[in-house]
Amino acid sequence: MGKNEYPNIDRRVRKTKALIRKTFTVLLAEKELKDISVSELTGIADINRGTFYLHYKDIFDLFEQIEKEVWEDFTAIIEKHKDYDQASLSLIVLELFKYIAADSDIFIAILKTKESTFLDQFITTSRPKNKNEWNRLIRGGNEEDYEYYYSFIAFGCVAILKKWFENGMKESPQYMAKLAEQLMANCTKIE
């Protein structure tokens, strides 16, 4: 969620929404989504409950809007390299890791939230849609095994991301992107 996440919105509204989201992210790191109340959030953020309700129906609506915006940013990165080759696959992975690093707190919160559909949505949507996309991702092997390869790659990338968070994100996004790329390339090399 970059600098222009609310481009046509008054500066005060942007600041208020940013404060609500930052407070929400802190709370989400400490407790389950269902255990966060609007009263608690607004008390910590030092804003009026009415202000919260000007922007969100409830805590779940806040979470869904954040998840939706992250999803839109993710898909924009992928769409930018839609007809990818191996070189632009590297760029996609690098851009995604950089984006994640820039807003790591919200990603950690999203990934730990049971109600999140983000990862399932990402895995389903990123799945190759035609033979050319499959061939760009998986070089060689039996077409009957492509779904297995994709599952291994997708869930492996999720595991790498979670481990990176657990380890305090000590490695750079560039390092993590290169590692993910190497692992993907190794798992798709079929003799």
pLDDT score of 182: 84
Contact (Cβ atoms closer than 8 angstroms) between residue 97 and residue 57: no
Give the pLDDT mean for 73-81: 82
Which amino acid, residue 92? I
pTM over 0.85? The answer is no
Closest CA to 16 of 41, 56, 52: 52
Residue 112 forms part of a structural domain:
yes
68-72, 146-150, 165-169: lowest mean pLDDT where?
Answer: 146-150
Q: What is the dihedral of CA 152, 108, 66, 6, to 10 degrees?
A: -110
Domain that holds residue 165: 60-188
65-74, 80-89, 169-178: lowest mean pLDDT where?
Answer: 80-89
Residue 43 forms part of a structural domain:
no
pLDDT score of 60: 94
Q: Is residue 16's pLDDT more than 90?
A: yes
Q: How confident is the model at residue 82 (pLDDT cuts 50, 70, 90)?
A: low
Q: What is the dihedral of CA 139, 144, 145, 148, to 10 degrees?
A: 120
| Cα–Cα distance, 82 to 64 (Å, whole number) | 26
What percentage of the chain carries pLDDT values higher than 70?
Answer: 85
How many structural domains is the chain composed of?
A: 1
Residue 55 forms part of a structural domain:
no
Contact (Cβ atoms closer than 8 angstroms) between residue 70 and residue 118: yes
Residue 130 forms part of a structural domain:
yes
Residue 44 forms part of a structural domain:
no
Residue 144 forms part of a structural domain:
yes
Q: Is residue 87's pLDDT more than 70?
A: no
Contact (Cβ atoms closer than 8 angstroms) between residue 109 and residue 25: yes
Residue 142 forms part of a structural domain:
yes
Grouping H, G, I as helix, E, B as strand and the rest as coil, residue 21 is: helix
Residue 17 forms part of a structural domain:
no
